[in-house]
Amino acid sequence: MTDTEFLLWVRGPAFNVATFIMCAGLVIRFLEILMLGRKANLAEARGSAAAGGLRTMVARSIPDAGSFQRSGFTVISGYIFHIGLFIVIFLFVPHILVFEKVMGLSWPGLPSNVVDATSVVTMIALLAVLIHRIKDPVLRMLSEFADYLVWFVTFLPLLTGYLAFHRVGLSAPMLIGLHILSVELLMILFPFTKLSHAFTLWMARWYNGAIAGYKGVRS
């Protein structure tokens, strides 16, 4: 297989398979959750469950003052790498072209050098997060193989993307191919690991806020 053939395979059949697995996996995960159902609450409501649920979906993106103080590193590094990932994934012009091709939607992007710098900052933040996970007693205890695997498959597309953008070492088709392949790995693991929190956290926040809102508490 030549480098170009590899790129064509990665962009074609492999991408289709990864997309299918990600979508089907997410549907399965949603069904697994929703089919468990939930008992109706027979206690008389004090407040609105729906208003509470919607509120918490948004409000939980900003930690309470105490958490800012006590979990400062987790909060700050979390913000940096999440916002960084968002910029790199969704605001890099070549990525937007892919989204346009797949979904037919397009939006303005940021200059490439801004995205490039963001990717470096994001990688540094992710490395810091990894070191924190290994060194902090609570995180070390909580962490299992999947936590490190998920870190790796998140970091890899950033690294391969950076190398591809700067044309380091290999041929351009090979670099781009490896970058796309690393993204496909992320897509395949997405629904079956904690990466799926990107989708399920909205449900979790909804339930949390609804349970509290029903009782008249803004959670």
Partner 1 sequence: MSGPSFERGYKLLREEIDAPTAAFFSSCVHCGMCAEACLFFTETRDPKYTPIHKLEPLRKVWKQEYTFWGKLGKALGFSKPLTDQDLADWESLVYDGCTLCGRCSMVCPVGNDIAYMIRKMREGMAAAGHAPEGLIGATKRAVTIGSPMGVKLPALQAQIRHTEKEFGVKIPLDVQGAEYLCLLSSMEIMNFPEYIGSIARIFKQANVSWTLSSDAFEATNSGIQIGVSDIAAELVQRIVDAAEALKVKAVISPECGHAYMAIRWEGPNLVGKPFNFKVVHILELLDELREQGRLTLKDKEAQKLTYHDPCQISRRGGVIDQPRNLMNMVADNFVEMPESGKMNWCCGAGGGVSSNERADDLRLKVFARKKAQLDAISVDGIVSACSNCRIHLEEGLEEYHMDLPLLSLTETIAEHLAEE
Q: By CB under 8 A, name the binding residues for partner 1.
A: 25, 28-29, 32-39, 41-44, 46-47, 56-57, 60-61, 63-67, 70-71, 74-75, 78, 136-144, 147, 192, 194, 196-197, 200-201, 203-209, 211-212, 215-219
Query: For residues 41 and 106, which CB has a smaller minimum distance to partner 1 in the complex?
Result: 41
User: Minimum distance between the CB of residue 53 and partner 1, rounded to whole angstroms?
Assistant: 10
Residue 34: Cβ-neighbour burial (10 angstroms; 0-12, 13-18, 19+):
exposed
Instruction: Give the DSSP letter of residue 107.
Output: -
User: Minimum distance between the CB of residue 128 and partner 1, rounded to whole angstroms?
Assistant: 14
Do 187 and 21 touch, CB atoms closer than 8 A?
Answer: yes
Distance CA 146, CA 152 (A): 10
Query: For residues 1 and 138, which CB has a smaller minimum distance to partner 1 in the complex?
Result: 138
Nearest CA-CA partner of 202 in 26, 39, 70, 36: 26
Query: For residues 27 and 172, which CB has a smaller minimum distance to partner 1 in the complex?
Result: 27
Query: For residues 110 and 211, which CB has a smaller minimum distance to partner 1 in the complex?
Result: 211
Query: For residues 60 and 95, which CB has a smaller minimum distance to partner 1 in the complex?
Result: 60
Q: How far is CA 218 from CA 42, 155, 171, in A?
A: 20, 36, 55
User: Minimum distance between the CB of residue 138 and partner 1, rounded to whole angstroms?
Assistant: 4
Instruction: Give the DSSP letter of residue 110.
Output: B
User: Minimum distance between the CB of residue 4 and partner 1, rounded to whole angstroms?
Assistant: 36
User: Minimum distance between the CB of residue 87 and partner 1, rounded to whole angstroms?
Assistant: 20
Helices and strands: H and E segment counts in the chain = 11, 0
